[in-house]
Structure 1
Amino acid sequence: MQSKAKTPVQYIAELPEDRKEVMQKLRETVKKNLPKGFEETMQYGMISYVVPHSIYPDGYHCKPTDALPFMSIASQKNHIGFYHSGIYTDPELLAWFVAEYPKHAKGKLDMGKSCIRFKNTKNVPFELLGELTTKVSVEQWIAKYESVLKK
């Protein structure tokens, strides 16, 4: 479900009532914990956190006019999605997250390669997601991104 919203505020305002509060809290959690240098924007129809061109002029290799994506949050048809490229590219970070998840959340972890899905909006572990947000700096993300590109 890609949104046509131009800003994160507009994105949240257009959500169904039962999704607005959790998405606003998730957005606030990310912004509070986001390492310096990442920028909030709309990208691919989601609220996204990117490395701006002012820091990484090359942009995203698939589409250089786009800033380098790192993390996104979205209200999908059947779940809230938390997309974190760090857990996709760093096995140690993924292992940490998988080990920590049961300490912070009810139910089984539901995730794909970089997407953590929350079907029940009452079970979003905001504190854990905030901590995950702090784990990768802009410099670390650029270095990891470039190391994967050059393989």
Structure 2
Amino acid sequence: MQYKVNTPEEYIESIPEERRAPIEKLRAVINENLPSGFEECISYGMIGWVVPHSIYPAGYHCDPKLPLPFLSIASQKNFIGFYHMGIYADHQLTQWFQEEYAKVVPTKLDMGKSCIRLKKPEHIPYDLIGELCTLITPEKWIEVYEGNLKR
């Protein structure tokens, strides 16, 4: 679900009350653990973190006017979505995350290509998500992104 908002704070105010605390905690964990250089913004109607044009002037290949997306969180109809483009683009990172998730969450991982569907707030692996956030710098993400574009 996309919300017509301009800031992460407005986004949080616009979502259902029961989703606010988990989204706020996810946002805090991400902001505490992402390497410097990523910028928080509203991206595609969600709270997002991007590589800004000041670091990567080429922008997103689908629309170069937009900064390079990396990570987003969103309140969807039936779950909280955690979207991590590094998981989509790096098979080794995907495997690592799947293995670690199984160690700390009692329910089966519900995952798409870049989307992790967090259906039960009490099962959100905040520490694991924090660790995942530390693993890719903006420079590394650009390298992985460009490597996948050239394939």
Alignment correspondent of 2:134: 134
Q: What is the aligned residue count?
A: 151
Relative to the length of structure 1, the TM-score reads 0.98
Query: After superposition, what is the alpha-carbon deviation per residue over 1:24-78, rounded to whole angstroms, capped at 9, x for unaligned?
Result: 0000000000111000000100000000000001100100110000010000000
Instruction: Provide the rounded CA distance (Å) in 2 between the counterparts of 1:131 and 1:22.
Output: 17
Aligned twin of 2:10: 10
Partner residue of 1:119?
119
Deviation for aligned residue 1:107: 0.5
Q: C-alpha root-mean-square deviation of aligned residues, in Å?
A: 0.7
One-letter amino acid of the counterpart of residue 76, structure 1: Q
TM-score by length of 2: 0.98
Indicate the residue corresponding to 2:65 in structure 1: 65
Mind listing any 5+ residue stretches in structure 2 that lack a counterpart?
A: none
For residue 57 of structure 2, give the secondary structure of its aligned residue in structure 1. Answer: coil
The answer as to 2:23 corresponding to 1:23 is yes
Other structure's SS at 1:96 match = helix
SS at match of 1:82: strand
Query: Does residue 101 of the first structure (1) align with residue 101 of the second (2)?
Result: yes
Secondary structure of the residue aligned to 2:25 is helix
Large movers: runs of 4+ above 4 Å: none
Structure 1: segments with no counterpart, 5+ residues: none
The alignment status of 1:47 with 2:28, answered yes or no, reads no
Q: Determine the structure 2 residue equivalent to 1:87.
A: 87
Identical counterparts, % of pairs: 57
Residue aligned with 2:69, SS: strand
2:22, 2:118 → 1: CA distance?
11
CA distance in 2 between counterparts of 1:140 and 1:133 reads 12
